[in-house]
Homo-oligomer: A and B are copies of this chain.
């Protein structure tokens, strides 16, 4: 059961050094969730083998161009490929107005768009399906901005196959046992659920925090997250610029990861002032050793 993040773009506003603007796809059990959609996202999807037609939900953090200017192209290509299934879009206010105008003069799309406006002040459940829940995370930026916490749902316990034979259990009783029930034999003996089942794998989680200034309350909202992508537009040498523009440094990203007790930290949203990314990695690892550099095309898996 996959839980895998593919980075499509890891630069900040100005694409540079072969790095595209922000976009990524989270694959949870073959459901594909698109997170931000900077220019060229659909081109990256083809390059990196992402099955774009499987995307049904799009989560947009904020309405700066480097997080949305690839959306119209992506939707347009879906229509050309004959898509009929709706796409659900979650974003701060204004996205619908933008998208509607972009297709006003070209004849529209072949499938419905459903827009959901986020309250970027609130940490709340915004979406769920069979596999996951998604919570919004209030961020601190120059325009209303939200992060996203993707959390796998608890899966049922796993039946021990050998016990089915031992106790001659009927298949119709299995769902109840997997859901946690004990089993009562015809002679009245009660077999405990612990004996019959194995615990399910622990639910996995991923948090996307971009764009944002250093914002400590985030750490408690994503406590224990397995994988954290936290923007690091600058290094500490440009901390003042980070404060001015509502961004974070690599050290600050690492600080959030440390406070949250995250499993792993991915850096990204690099300013085009930096060609080499080595300083980002060194700075963050000094605070949070399990840090990796995000890069276009890199894939991060969370194992079960």
Q: Which A residues lie at the B interface, using CB under 8 A?
A: 13-16, 20-21, 39-40, 42-43, 46, 63-66, 69-70, 72-73, 76-77, 80-81, 92-94, 97-98, 101-107, 142-143
A13 to B16, CA, bound (A): 24
The 10 closest A-B pairs by CB, nearest first: A63-B105, A39-B73, A94-B105, A65-B76, A69-B73, A101-B101, A40-B40, A64-B106, A69-B72, A15-B43
Quick one: given A72-B69, A105-B63, are A80 and B39 in contact (CB under 8 Å)?
no
Q: Would you give the shortest CB distance from A297 to chain B, in whole angstroms?
A: 15
- Chain copies in the assembly? 2
- Counting chain B CB atoms within 10 Å of each CB, the highest count among A21, A70, A104, A106 belongs to A106
Q: Would you give the shortest CB distance from A108 to chain B, in whole angstroms?
A: 11
A14 to B83, CA, bound (A): 14
A13-B76, A39-B42, A93-B105 given; 18 more Cβ-contact pairs under 8 Å: A13-B80, A15-B42, A15-B73, A15-B77, A21-B73, A39-B69, A40-B40, A64-B106, A65-B76, A65-B102, A65-B103, A69-B69, A69-B73, A69-B102, A94-B104, A97-B101, A98-B101, A98-B105
